[in-house]
Amino acid sequence: MAGVSEVLSSTIARIQPLDAEAVAAAETAQAGLVKPAGSLGVLEALSAQLAGIARACPPPVPAKPAVGVFAGDHGVLAQGVTPWPSDITFVMCNVFQAGGAAINVLSRAAGASVTVVDMGVAGPYAEGTGPGAELVSKKVRPATSDLAKGAAMSRDEAIQALEAGIAVADQLVDGGADLLVTGDMGIGNTTPSAALIAALTGTAADVVTGRGTGIDDETLALKTGIVASAVERIAEGADAIDVLAEVGGFEHAGIAGFVLGGAARGVPVVLDGVIAGSAALVAQGIAPTAIDYCVAGHRSAEPGHRIALEKLALRPLLELDLRLGEGTGAVLATPIVQASARILNEMATLESVMAGGQ
Ligand SMILES: Cc1cc2ncn([C@H]3O[C@H](COP(=O)(O)O)[C@@H](O)[C@H]3O)c2cc1C
Ligand SMILES: O=C(O)c1cccnc1
């Protein structure tokens, strides 16, 4: 891709296709386990994907999941696209740090760490570690510009935010994380998510725009109109970074970088809901192979998420009508990812059982 930074282009260059031999070995191994062929359904394909990512069969069982919650505020809030004030973004970051948010509860249940990344929160923000999460600052600027009026950010800012996501992935993997999990916090962020999905999949705004935290029909019509006209502004021949800059958010850019960074490090990335889905479309536009490293943790109730997952060709592991974000659906799916690797590592083979070996 032309017009990218050195960090971005070297990250893209490090993303390898999955190891075909390890994938084939996993498929062969699955067929020989003590069960009817195919009977573990999606777990079988997932285990082969993990083998391809790890370049080994059986793949190691992921032991250290790490959630990156990317947070940012949105200029488009001025249009009234959500009933919540932008202060909630900052407030929730403090709740994450204290440990009382849904993502904290579900991460404790899954044995996952939580790192909150300030990509562009409007409120003041202190780095530091609390009982619930570590807070790191990669603030590009306090909130994007209003995407109803013009570009949400410059291309340089988009690249800076993508690089921040790559750096967070590197930091977590250097700290021992072997399964990255995406999360988001940003009041108003379902509006840029819908715009990214509309633009990057060529789908009409009214199909991909949803009610987010819960809006009435009038606000939904307003939000849909804003998404439609923002997408119309995107120039012919715009690349995924141009689209991100025009209609995205800083947390979307951070998550897209996190996906690229995870793929470059050879680590699987579990995607959360519609914000992650739209960010993964950006990553796909930058480096399509990065999506081979992704697992869709769940499908959220937000309508654009289904469209995004279709374009990404990812099948969600869970469908629980979640529409919260923060990484909740993704971290809930991590035990399933671990279980699929465990199957390849621990199950007896049909042959050994028939021979009386077990
Ligand atoms: C208290 C609270 C906690 C949240 N945690 C995640 N979100 C989610 O809702 C927001 C997106 O919805 P919309 O586009 O309609 O504003 C994001 O912050 C997302 O992370 C929350 C929203 C609220 C209000
Ligand atoms: O799909 C999601 O993750 C989502 C939906 C609504 C609001 N916040 C997040």
Q: What is the pLDDT of residue 356?
A: 81
The CA-atom distances, in angstroms, between 106 and each of 27, 112, 208, 297 are 31, 8, 28, 13
Pocket flag, ligand 1, residue 173 (CB < 6 Å):
no
C-alpha distances (whole Å) from 152 to each of 125, 183, 195, 252 are 21, 21, 11, 12
Q: Which amino acid would we find at residue 9?
A: S
Residues 6+ away with beta carbon under 8 Å from 217: none
Q: What is the pLDDT of residues 268-318, one digit of tens each?
A: 999 999 999 999 999 999 999 999 999 999 999 999 999 999 999 999 999
Give the CA-trace dihedral at 81, 86, 91, 94, to 10 degrees. 100
Decide if the complex's ipTM is over 0.95: yes
For the record, the structure tokens of 37 come out as 């062929």
Answer yes or no: is the C-beta of 324 below 6 A from any ligand 1 atom.
Answer: yes
Q: How far is the centre of ligand 1, averaged over its atoms, from the C-alpha of 261 (Å)?
A: 25
Instruction: Write the CA distances from 167 to 137, 202, 218, 254, 331, integer angstroms.
Output: 12, 31, 40, 9, 21
What band does 357 get if pLDDT is binned at 50, 70 and 90? low
State if pTM tops 0.95: yes
Closest ligand (CA of 90): 1
Q: What is the pLDDT of residue 34?
A: 98
Cis geometry, peptide bond prior to residue 131 (ω within 30 degrees of 0): no
Indicate if ligand 1 lies below 6 Å from the C-beta of 327.
no
28-69 pLDDT, tens digit each: 999 999 999 999 999 999 999 999 999 999 999 999 999 999
CATH number (3.40.50.800, 1.10.268.10, 2.40.110.10, 3.40.50.10210) of 65-334 reads 3.40.50.10210
How far is the C-alpha of 29 from the C-alpha of 33, rounded, in Å? 7
Nearest CA to ligand 2 atom 9: 325
pLDDT at 128: 87
Q: What is the Cα 42 distance to its own chain's centre? A: 20
Q: Are 321 and 301 in contact (CB under 8 A)?
A: yes
3-state secondary structure 250-300: HHHHHHHHHHHHHHHCCCCEEECCHHHHHHHHHHHHHCHHHHHHEEECECC
Distance (Å, rounded) from C-alpha 347 to C-alpha 56? 17
CA of 185 to the centre of ligand 2 (A): 9
Which one from 27, 326, 346, 351 is the annotated catalytic residue?
A: 326
pLDDT, tens digit (0-9, with 9 covering 90-100), for 72-120: 999 999 999 999 999 999 999 999 999 999 999 999 999 999 999 999 9
Residues of the chain with pLDDT > 70: what percent? 99
Mean pLDDT of 172-195: 99
Atom number, ligand 2, closest to the C-alpha of residue 272: 3
Give the DSSP H/E element, type plus range, for residue 181. strand 179-185
Q: What residues line ligand 2, using a CB cutoff of 6 Å?
A: 190, 212-213, 272-275, 300, 302, 305, 323-325
DSSP 50: H
Q: How many whole angstroms from 29 Cα to the centroid of ligand 2?
A: 38
54: which 2 tokens? 């790890």
Residue 212 Cβ inside 6 Å of ligand 1? The answer reads yes
Closest by CA position to 80, among listed 144, 153, 146: 146
Question: pLDDT digits over 296-306, tens only?
Answer: 999 999 999 99
The domain ranges of the chain are 6-60+343-354, 65-334
Phi, psi angle pair for 80, to nearest 5°: 80, 40
Catalytic site includes residue 326:
yes
Q: Which CATH code of 1.10.8.50, 3.50.50.60, 1.10.1610.10, 3.40.50.300 fits the domain covering 6-60+343-354?
A: 1.10.1610.10
**Closest ligand to residue 182's CA:** 2
- Indicate the Cα dihedral angle 316, 318, 324, 325, nearest 10°: -40
- Collapsing DSSP states into helix, strand and coil, what is residue 137? strand
Confirm or reject: Cβ of 188 under 6 Å from ligand 1. yes
* 308 within 8 A of 197, measured Cβ to Cβ: yes
